[in-house]
Amino acid sequence: MNWTEIFRSGLSTGTVLLIAAIGEILTERSGVQNLGVEGMMLLGAMAGFKIAFQTGNVWLGLLAAIAAGGLLSLAHAIVTIHFQADQTVSGLSLTFLGTGLAMVLGDGLTGQTGPVIPRATIPLLSQIPYLGPVAFTNHNLLVYFGYLLVPIVSYYIHKTRPGLHLRAVGENPAAADTLGVNIYRTRYLYTFIGGCFAGLAGAAISVAIAPGWYSNLTVNGQGWIAVALVIFAHWNPWRAALGGYLFGVLRRFSLDLQGPRLLFGLANPFFFNTNLVFFLQMAPYFLTIIALIWGSSAARRKRIGSPAALGVPYQRGERGL
């Protein structure tokens, strides 16, 4: 087994989860839970691939993906913030809507090849032993974008004034309202931003990590895994990064288990019985369940909760929580 390759691939597949999870963290921090990440990612993946394919310009594709995810998220924002509908059901219908839209608009794209995000090697940093070849060599640019995103968003949430407002709106909207923070505008804004990130994450699949459009199999549950990752990460970008990359590495590792004839000196069952591969394919989903159980119980032990107003619609003058 090639460990460098496993870690490298872990970082690049983890980037998808990382981007989507960070978007969802921003949304949930404002008190809105958007379970439609899967749908927004699928629409983003379709839009990104379609525009990149049609214009030949991958950057226009990325812009289209960001816009698509953001626009779709506005449907959730209107329904949950203005109409005060149940956020769970709205998120689910967003997934349906995104899936349907992506399948209809992406009709005929299957099997095509389009431009992809260019790869780059960072000078100097790629010379670091062990870390260099894994983290800074020949990755697509979105992976490096992911590295930058984590500290920036973390700083923004915890150390800046708008970040403070964001947290206040998610924890105690009534108090934030009395301080003059516009709850509705804040929630719209971060739901939209979360959607943009989800769209970008979708495009990260379709024009970078696994280029192409495979209809509704393109995203294949990664949006849901990202939602679980947010809980595992306790709404913290650093932990989301850790979780996302770990997830990517473990997934690649479990797929590579099929390769060798011998595993730790024993006959490799996955090599000799190819049907056992289905159990390896279950790994990401089992991992998600374990991460969720672990994350939730750790949160309870350390008394870290979800944003207090998560999922609660806000209306002025009504007793909220």
Partner 1 sequence: MKIPYPVFLKRTEDYPKWLPAATSVAAVLLAFVISGIILAATGANPLKVYSYFFKASFGSWGAFSDVIVKATPLLLIGLGCSLAFRMRLWNIGAEGQFFVGAFMASAVVMVPLVNLDTTPRWAIISLMGLLGMLGGSLYAFIPGILKAKLNINEIIITLMLNYIAVLWNNYWIFGKWSESGFQMTKTFPKVAWLPRLADYAREVPAFSGMTLHAGILFGLIAAVFVYLVIYRSKWGYKITLIGDNPRAARYAGINIARNTILVFMISGALAGLAGMTEVSGVVHRLQERISTSYGFSGVIVAWLAKLNPFAVIVVSILFGALLVASREIQPSGVSFLIQGITLFLVISSDVLLKYEIKWVRPAQETAQ
Which residues bind to partner 1, rule: CB under 8 A? 35, 39, 75, 78-79, 82-86, 88-90, 92-107, 182, 184-185, 188, 215-216, 221, 224, 227-228, 231, 273, 275-276, 278-279, 281-282, 285-286, 288-289, 292-293, 296-297, 315, 318
54 versus 216: smaller Cβ distance to partner 1: 216
Tell me the closest approach of the beta carbon of residue 161 to partner 1, in angstroms: 20
Contact 67, 170 (CB under 8 A): no
Distance CA 94, CA 57 (A): 28
Instruction: Specify the 3-state DSSP secondary structure of 140.
Output: strand
Tell me the closest approach of the beta carbon of residue 287 to partner 1, in angstroms: 9
Max CA pair span of the chain = 68
33 versus 140: smaller Cβ distance to partner 1: 33
Tell me the closest approach of the beta carbon of residue 274 to partner 1, in angstroms: 9
38 versus 171: smaller Cβ distance to partner 1: 38
6 versus 72: smaller Cβ distance to partner 1: 72
- Helical H segments across the chain, by residue range: 3-29, 37-55, 58-77, 87-105, 131-135, 141-159, 161-171, 173-178, 183-204, 222-232, 237-256, 269-272, 277-301
The number of CA neighbours under 13 Å toward the Cβ of 17 is: 33
142 versus 194: smaller Cβ distance to partner 1: 194
Tell me the closest approach of the beta carbon of residue 52 to partner 1, in angstroms: 19
111 versus 318: smaller Cβ distance to partner 1: 318
Tell me the closest approach of the beta carbon of residue 99 to partner 1, in angstroms: 5
Distance CA 201, CA 210 (A): 12
**Planar angle of CA 184, 188, 190, nearest 5 degrees:** 120
Distance CA 47, CA 65 (A): 5
Tell me the closest approach of the beta carbon of residue 282 to partner 1, in angstroms: 5
3 versus 285: smaller Cβ distance to partner 1: 285
Tell me the closest approach of the beta carbon of residue 192 to partner 1, in angstroms: 12
**Planar angle of CA 145, 248, 252, nearest 5 degrees:** 130
